[in-house]
A and B are shown apart, each in its own frame.
Chain A
Amino acid sequence: MTPADCFARLPNLLAADTDLRRRGHWLNVDCRVDIGAEPFHLTLREGGLADFGRGTRLLHSIAFSLSGTDEAWLHHWQKVPEPGWHDLFAMTKHGVLSMDGDLRPLLQNLQYFKDLLALPRRLPEAG
């Protein structure tokens, strides 16, 4: 399974996490997460995924994007990630992840996004 295929499971993973959706109750934002070359568009409403699209969307407005290499996400989603791959900012510091756009909604809800983007660790396929 490719890292993008893992991330494609995000709707089910978030739906199963009532605590994370509770913590994101005030969050409403459109953003993009790039898993290697594959973009995913997330429409987050009250902490849940109102829409989740895989692939390029033309003229689609987003507040911010997070772009990581396949290798970065693969390591990040290990059940126990190795040092340097275990946190979004560890990966930006090492140059394998970038954060662009209006970062305010990201930083206003930072722990939510860290936990959201770590959800694929729960997949049985996670190493």
Chain B
Amino acid sequence: MAPALDPMVGRYVRLDIDDVPHRIYFDEAGQGIPLVCLHTAGADSRQFRHLLADPEITRRFRVLAFDMPWHGKSTPPDGWERDEYRLTTASYTAAIRAFCRAMELDRPVVMGCSIGGRIVLNLAIGHAAEFRALIALEAADFQKPWYDTAWLHRPDVHGGEICAALVSGLIAPQSPPVSRHETLWMYMQGGPGVFKGDLYFYRVDGDLREKVKTIDTSICPLYLMTGEYDFSCTTEDTLRTAAQIPGAEVRVMKELGHFPMSENPARFREYILPVLDKIAR
């Protein structure tokens, strides 16, 4: 019997981010318009495995989902042990642009979730001409914090367990238990302090209030999509953000939370396919 292989292929690419050498892991499937997927804070590219295995998407899109440095199978740069990891707006933007350059992608679509959604807004602010379309999932210009990130990295609290337990409430109660727990498993596997370091960008460095008003959707279309059960980035946060950006298209996703692509892939598909159809037209 032939092996039951998933359609995506995983590889590593060598690239420099801000002149620092990196070895970045990515999954890839499909052909056509490049679609780069950005995972949430403290997780990895496995969140997009259902999109990578969806023929309706991969027949028109070359889907690439990479692990950010420090995440998944992308190792931290040499000497990582000497510094506290902190993602910034500049370093995150540089990593995405370096990946797109290294892979020689021609005006890709970028879709990011949570911190990936926030940075998509920054791409729209500063680099719109480089992209064909931008999709921000669970994104807003700013969100009110709901816990102290100091709990995420300390010796008396298990890092993987606390990260997963905190974000578990961001998953909609309607999401299938298997998908819920697969989503949480990725959070349990993050490196120490990585989720906390990602949230430095989210909480401290990535405030895009006022800046989003400068987004010009005539240069690059922008889609914002948020699940109704996301209380980290609420639908109100997203609607407020979209209202400041002429031409931005916004969708509230019913019965979905903060991780639409992994917590309920079938439900998310109903929302993302029409957007991708429009982009592919």
Contacts and interface: CB of A to CB of B under 8 A. Distances in A.
Interface of A: 80-81, 83-84, 86-90, 92-94, 104, 107-108, 110-111, 114
Interface of B: 144, 146-147, 151, 156-158, 161-162, 164-166, 168-170, 172-174, 228-229, 231
5 contacts: A80-B173, A81-B173, A86-B229, A107-B157, A111-B161
A93 B146 contact: yes
Interface of chain B, helix or strand or loop or mixed?
loop
B199 to A, nearest CB: 14
A114 B228 CA distance: 20
A87 B156 contact: no
Contact of A84 (B157, B162, B231): B231
A-B pairs, 6 with minimum CB distance: A87-B169, A110-B165, A111-B165, A90-B231, A93-B146, A83-B228
Given A80-B174, A86-B229, A87-B231, A107 B169 contact: no
Nearest to B230: A83
Contact of B144 (A83, A90, A93): A93
Given A80-B174, A111-B161, A89 B229 contact: no
Contacts of A81: 173
A107 B168 contact: no
Given A87-B231, A94-B231, A114-B169, 19 more contacts: A80-B174, A83-B229, A83-B231, A86-B169, A86-B229, A87-B168, A87-B169, A89-B146, A89-B147, A89-B166, A89-B169, A92-B146, A93-B144, A93-B146, A104-B157, A110-B166, A111-B164, A111-B165, A114-B165
